[in-house]
């Protein structure tokens, strides 16, 4: 059964989003060591919405996180009612650049791609939906 | 998240990072590291054995500090990375631009 929660997209609310994920993870009895990738990916997507999703003058948009377990796979959807934007159109950063020229911009979305097995974007009913999933490996 | 900085007898500063280095913690962490570099030690080692989590915002702080260290001719290394933090360093390519050592003893030996 899936679980959803909503958080206002502001930097101050990031811990609340993380707490929502942790609470579900624990109640679902999932292994601790697999949680990190989802915590990281949720922060990166959430902060992307905080930085770019809300119109400069308007109120902050709202993020809705939906978590689900399907067999050995965890699925997480992050939906927001902010500015329409597909983060998967961003180019990967060059991770071989020397230190003087290295940029951190774009690294967040790169993490989303690299840490998850699947990543999909769609825009529907006025909301961005980024859906990710990752296998937890064979369960014992 | 908190960071404490100690100076060793060999002139190396050791910054011990504890907890979660997320977006909210990154600005303060960066400021602490920049302050440590500005004090011109021989080298700065970031001891990460109690660092549980780092995101791209946290990596930015490492990058800014490492760059300032390089510009100021201060040695720079990170050590004691937990598996999750190590994975972030590797996926981002940061383990190629920042000297990552197994533990504090190895880091101090490498910077001696």
Helix H, strand E, coil C: the string for A21-49 is: HHHHHHHCCCCHHHHHHHHHHHHHHHHHH
Predicted confidence (pLDDT) at residue A139 exceeds the cutoff of 60:
no
Domain ranges, ordered by start, for chain A: 3-135
Which domains, ranges and CATH numbers included, belong to chain B? 2-111 (3.30.750.24)
Q: Tell me how close the Cα of A109 comes to any Cα of chain B, in angstroms.
A: 9
- Complex ipTM, two decimals? 0.94
| Of the candidates A20, A124, A31, A13, the residue with the CA atom closest to the CA atom of residue A67 | A20
Chain A residues lying within 8 Å of B56, measured CB to CB = 44, 104, 107-108, 111
How far apart are the C-alpha atoms of A6 and A16, rounded to whole Å? 9
What is the overall mean pLDDT for chain A? 93
Fold entry, domain A3-135: Heat Shock Protein 90 (3.30.565)
- Structure confidence by residue, pLDDT tens digits, A17-29: 999 999 999 999 9
Of chain B, the percentage scoring pLDDT greater than 90 comes to 96
Q: Tell me how close the Cα of A122 comes to any Cα of chain B, in angstroms.
A: 24
What pLDDT does A138 receive? 62
Phi, psi of A81 (to 5 degrees): -100, 30
For chain B positions 16-35, those within 8 Å of chain A (CB to CB) are: 22-24
């Amino acid at each position: 059964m899936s679980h959803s929660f909503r958080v206002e997209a502001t930097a101050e609310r990031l811990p609340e989003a993380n707490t929502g994920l942790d609470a579900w993870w624990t109640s679902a009895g999932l292994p601790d060591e697999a949680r990190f990738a989802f915590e990281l990916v949720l922060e990166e997507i959430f902060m992307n919405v905080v930085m770019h999703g809300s119109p400069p003058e308007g109120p902050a948009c709202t993020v809705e996180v939906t978590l689900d377990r399907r067999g050995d796979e965890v699925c997480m959807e992050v939906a927001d009612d902010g500015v329409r934007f597909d983060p998967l159109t961003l180019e990967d950063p060059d991770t071989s650049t020397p230190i003087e020229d290295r940029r951190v911009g774009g690294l967040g979305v790169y993490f989303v791609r690299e840490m998850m097995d699947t990543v999909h974007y769609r825009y529907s009913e006025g909301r961005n939906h980024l859906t990710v999933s990752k296998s937890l490996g064979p369960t014992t | 998240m908190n960071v404490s900085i100690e100076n060793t007898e060999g002139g190396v500063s050791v910054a011990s990072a504890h907890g979660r280095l997320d977006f909210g913690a990154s600005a303060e962490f960066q400021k602490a590291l920049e302050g440590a570099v500005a004090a011109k030690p021989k080298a700065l080692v970031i001891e990460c054995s109690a660092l549980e989590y780092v995101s791209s915002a946290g990596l930015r702080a490492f990058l800014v500090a490492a760059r300032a260290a390089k510009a100021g001719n201060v040695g720079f290394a990170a050590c004691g990375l937990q598996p999750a933090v190590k994975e972030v360093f590797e996926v981002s390519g940061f383990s190629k631009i920042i000297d990552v050592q197994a533990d504090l003893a190895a880091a101090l030996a490498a910077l001696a």
